[in-house]
Amino acid sequence: MKLKVLGCSGGIGDGSHTTAMLLDTDILIDAGTGVGNLSMQELAKIDHIFVTHAHLDHVAFIPFLVDTVGFMRDKPVTVHATQETLKTLRDHVFNWHIWPDFTKIPDKKSPYMRYETVSLGEVVELGGRKITPLPANHVVPAVGYQLDSGQASLVFTGDTTTNDALWAVVNKISNLEYLIIESAFCEEKREIAIRSKHLCPSLLAEELAKLEREAEIYITHLKQGEDALTMREIATCAKAFNPKILKKDQLFEF
């Protein structure tokens, strides 16, 4: 399996793009503005989108993707998410007011897009690749994902804060190789992080202390203008875990 980072920032501007990762050539993990870095030909190859939660920085480019290449495809794009997240997409995005309902275009029998519900702990297997929703703790219903090639696993926490349920699962992953975890705020904004259910450096260090397995750790969802400061603070309070900043175009093979 190959996972390419298309976007991993907490915002846009100056070359930054919000969360989106391309698994091989046909699966997206979240669909933030990073999806806009793909060509039409690359977009047309995407069969599946696994969504962590319904916040705009993670779903903004689903409508544009489907609208742009739906006519080029011979089957619908499948959007995988929890029941709560799919309801939000139905009610507030693909509702004919914000965007057309592509589960009914061109018609109900042959739509450009379809929904598929995922549940915590239930594996979705696609061509030998196993994708499993993991617990997340955010202000809206959310999940992370374990991506398992059989030889190794990568865990993406999605947006989350203090979350004992996640580590109970992650610590059982015997082939864990990579962990991508967020830290959306610097330490000065710890209270904002707590209220918005994100992590900051001190909260991140407390969470990583619960990890009982060896893994390469990468930090995502950093805010522009605060990213260097936040990483310096992380390097201080979570030094033992040797966390690195996640970068656009970074490639993981596992």
- Residue 91: per-residue pLDDT: 98
> Could you give the residue ranges of the DSSP H alpha helices within the chain?
40-44, 56-59, 62-69, 83-92, 164-170, 190-196, 201-208, 227-237
- Residue 113: per-residue pLDDT: 98
- Residue 150: per-residue pLDDT: 97
Query: Using CA atoms, how far apart are residues 65 and 70, in angstroms rounded to an integer?
Result: 8
Q: Are 93 and 59 in contact (CB under 8 A)?
A: yes
Angle at 37 between CA 32 and CA 43, to 5 degrees: 85
- Residue 246: per-residue pLDDT: 98
pLDDT digits (tens, 9 = 90+) for 6-45: 999 999 999 999 999 999 999 999 999 999 999 999 999 9
Per-residue confidence at 137, pLDDT binned at 50, 70, 90?
A: very high
- Residue 237: per-residue pLDDT: 96
pLDDT digits (tens, 9 = 90+) for 60-94: 999 999 999 999 999 999 999 999 999 999 999 99
Give this prediction's pTM.
0.98
pLDDT digits (tens, 9 = 90+) for 149-164: 999 999 999 999 999 9
Q: Of 11, 99, 18, nearest to 51 (Cα)?
A: 18
Query: Using CA atoms, how far apart are residues 166 and 207, in angstroms rounded to an integer?
Result: 10
| Arithmetic mean of pLDDT, 208-214 | 98
- Residue 162: per-residue pLDDT: 98
- The DSSP H or E segment spanning 80 is strand 77-81
Report residue 9 as tokens: 């920032």
Angle at 39 between CA 33 and CA 42, to 5 degrees: 100
Give the residues across from 133 on adjacent strands.
145
Question: Which residues 6+ apart lie within 8 Å of 13 measured at CB?
Answer: 224
Report residue 64 as tokens: 């544009």
Could you identify the residue written with the tokens 């997240």?
85
Residue-range domains of the chain with CATH: 2-253 (3.60.15.10)
